[in-house]
Amino acid sequence: MEDFAGFLTRIIIPCFVISSLQIDYSSELFRGGATVFLVCVIMHFWGLIVGWISFRVLKVPEKAKGIWIFSCMFANIGFMGVPVIAMIFGGNSVFYCAFASFAFNTTAYTLGVIVLQRCGDNPEGSKVDMKKLLLAPVNVATLVGLLLFLGNIRLPAPIKDTVSMVGGMLSPLAMIYIGAILGKFDFKETIMEKWAYPVSFFRLIFMPLSSYIILKPFIHDQLILGVIVVGLSTPIGAFCAILAAEFGADEALASKYIFVTTVLCIFTMPIFFMLFL
């Protein structure tokens, strides 16, 4: 499974990132995208604070520390957020989702990896190579994609189509990966993971609600605010399990958290849709 996780993080996800930025340049769009990126990065740090405090207050088992904090920090914006947000807002919402995803990618592959490594089972977990993290394929792809967007440069059709096709495999392959991990456990064991429910509260309710309250006085563009808040209301991202496998954390526990929050979000996400309809 680690090889599969590496395939996703080194090939599929970078192609998705580059493909999502193959659109016409607009200074107004770029300013809006930059706002989404910056605010999402700040909200990821807010999630780090929430995760660390809740971990201490609730006395979550130490072995779950990295997955717990990562789960509070990062939502499933790329997989679940994009289609839902596109359906609700339409227009340029998908473009802004791309910047929200970039904020996720850069933060998850730096700060998120540090959290997982320091709290994981990998004996090398405390030795974080920042150069290696910053030069991770997804971060390089983000830089390349932004340069192409800013320069209004289109990839040749054969390359663009190939990159788009490969990137389009992200959601189904990520779901297959999670399903393969969950397949090793019985359904009862998964839904009986007691810490999956409090982490679901923080991921699905507290994080988007607190973000809405914090950001509403400062962000007056309803589309930008909506993309951020609805994106943060999505369940724990599949990346949590993928990165857990790659960087020595508990991928089985991550998959249980993902499964439970994905089921529960059916009931919680509509609450945040209503704020913008």
- Chain Cα centroid distance, residue 211: 16
CA pair distance 271, 242, nearest whole angstrom: 29
Average pLDDT in the chain: 86
Average pLDDT over residues 202-206: 97
- DSSP letter for each residue of 113-175: HHHHHHHSS-TTTT---HHHHHTSHHHHHHHHHHHHHHTTPPPPHHHHHHHHHHHTTHHHHHH
Does 178 or 230 have the greater pLDDT score? 230
| Domain 2-273, second-level architecture | Up-down Bundle (1.20)
Model confidence at 124: pLDDT above 60:
no
Question: pLDDT tens digits for 73-98?
Answer: 999 887 678 778 878 887 788 778 88
CA pair distance 199, 260, nearest whole angstrom: 10
CA pair distance 242, 228, nearest whole angstrom: 23
Where does the pLDDT of residue 141 fall: very low under 50, low under 70, confident under 90, or very high at 90 and above? confident
| pLDDT reported for residue 126 | 47
Question: pLDDT tens digits for 11-57?
Answer: 988 888 888 788 888 888 899 999 999 999 999 999 999 999 999 99
Model confidence at 193: pLDDT above 70:
yes
Residue 147 φ/ψ region, left for φ over 0, alpha for ψ in the -120 to 50 degree band, beta for the rest = alpha
Model confidence at 135: pLDDT above 90:
no
CA pair distance 31, 105, nearest whole angstrom: 19
What percent of the chain has a predicted confidence (pLDDT) above 70? 93
Backbone dihedral angles phi then psi of residue 97, each to the nearest 5 degrees = -60, -35
Model confidence at 107: pLDDT above 70:
yes
Does 196 or 81 have the greater pLDDT score? 196
What percent of the chain has a predicted confidence (pLDDT) above 90? 41
Average pLDDT over residues 146-155: 91
Stated pTM of the model: 0.81
Model confidence at 194: pLDDT above 60:
yes
Residue extents of the structural domains in the chain: 2-273
